[in-house]
Copies of this chain bind each other. A is one copy, B any other.
Amino acid sequence: MTLYMNLAELLGTRIEQGLYRPGDRLPSVRALSQEHGVSLSTVQQAYRQLEDDGLVEPRPKSGYFVPQARQRPALPMVSRAAQRPVEVSQWDQVLELISTPPGGELVQLGRGIPDIGAPTLKPLLRSLSRLSRRQGIRELSYGSVLGDPGLREQVSRLVLDSGCQIPPEDIVITTGCHEALSTAIRAVCEPGDIVAVDSPSFHGVMQALKGFGMKALELPTDPVSGISLEALELALEQWPIKAIQLTPSCNNPLGYIMPEANKRALLTLAQRYDVAIIEDDIYGELAYKYPRPRTIKSFDEDGRVLLCSSFSKTLAPGLRIGWIAPGRYLQRVLHMKYMSTGMSAQLPQLALAEFIAGGHYEPHLRRMRSQYARGRELMTDWVSQYFPPGTRASQPQGGFMLWVELEAGFDSQRLNRQLLPHKVQIAPGSIFSAAGKYRNCLRMNFATPQAAGIEQAVRRVGESIAELQAEQG
């Protein structure tokens, strides 16, 4: 971590601990420079970082201040899941969400699409374009079923940041995180098996469980600390669970980061009951705070964690490049990967390897983290402002999704139908549950909050909610 980041984190912690209060003036640049023995420009950089994170605000000629406390909506309730294995439903609603390609008139607040317009992506596009012209055997022919060796080397380097030491030969490149997750599930489970999941949970995984004839056991999940370890232990006691599937870092859709102690405790439970862990880390690198959180995989000593990720959220989903570090299940995963797609597209793998090796990945991530942190502030403000009183919302620690909880009995599928003529779409909460719970919830994307029409779309969502609530009386 550089000097300015250290200082920014120190000041940030002091603000969050209440040492400086809303409205307080913060120490001057000169005073901090002397106190910490760093240059004036280092202090200025630290303040800019804190400003980006929404923790301080500059006032012309007066210095930096702690902003007035924002009106934050209350957190969602801890989910009360069914606590018995169920067959997954909701395919029709998922299909509705994913059938419309982006780029039309519809404002798709519901989809998990990152900002793909950042200038820091340019070097990747240049590599893609240059490699496309080559007509070489590496670009156009079959590669290894494991994926491009150069890209696996880069992934092996990247995972060091999450505390993992994984050699390139234990990494398999996949067609997006989808393929990583579905090969993981198939490598570990048979039809009829039970998989424990956090709840609400990513619909792609649940639809895979449905497709493979497996059952999901949804566990109560806290919007700050994640899956309930008590409930998990009870479930492991009660049911023949084969695997735990969860997204512990920058969870989708809730945005929490599971505390490190909980991650360790979960691994211990998995060891005691001898079950596999399928860890989805697709948003992990988009944690607003640096350094990024550790993965459960980083504590794993007996290879029971299958770590799944991709570049779909950090770079661009259209590349369809993900990866899996399957631990002891490598051979099974290779077989599943071969039968599902044979191998993944070559060009994006080669271009990505160049992009990362060329040092372009970290600057892009830094930019995106700040942008999404600001997006969270904006979206939270809009929900406070435009949504009916009593609306609850998540406080994401990373990524670009907000989870909104409305009063019991609200129907977010009806909301989507209401929004259709206004060309706005949200993700209804029910697709994040195997059993179709969370009908009173919805998920919204804040990756590009300053794009034209986004604020207006969110406002429209708020108004439609109010209309529907008024109808219900």
Contacts and interface: CB of A to CB of B under 8 A. Distances in A.
B102 A141 contact: yes
Number of copies: 2
Given A98-B144, A317-B141, A318-B141, A339 B178 contact: yes
A151 to B, nearest CB: 12
B98 A116 contact: no
Contact of A318 (B98, B128, B140): B140
Interface residues of A, number: 72
A341 interface: yes
Contacts of A317: 140-142
A91 B133 CA distance: 35
A211 B339 contact: yes
A137 B111 contact: no
B111 A135 contact: no
A141 B338 contact: no
Given A101-B142, A138-B101, A340 B117 contact: no
Interface in A174-219: 175-176, 178-179, 182, 186, 190-191, 204, 207-208, 210-213
B113 A142 contact: yes
Interface stretch (A29-37, A44-52, A345-353, A379-387): A345-353
A99 interface: yes
Contacts of A145: 95, 98-99
Interface in A236-253: none
Contacts of A133: 125-126, 128-129
Nearest to A316: B140
Interface in A89-119: 91, 94-95, 98-103, 111-113, 116-117
B139 A318 contact: yes
Given A138-B318, A176-B343, 6 more contacts: A116-B135, A140-B319, A175-B341, A175-B342, A178-B339, A207-B335
Interface of A: 91, 94-95, 98-103, 111-113, 116-117, 121-122, 125-126, 128-130, 132-146, 148-149, 175-176, 178-179, 182, 186, 190-191, 204, 207-208, 210-213, 316-320, 334-336, 338-348
19 contacts: A95-B338, A98-B144, A98-B343, A99-B144, A112-B142, A113-B141, A121-B135, A122-B135, A129-B133, A140-B316, A141-B316, A175-B341, A176-B341, A191-B191, A207-B339, A208-B339, A318-B345, A320-B343, A340-B340
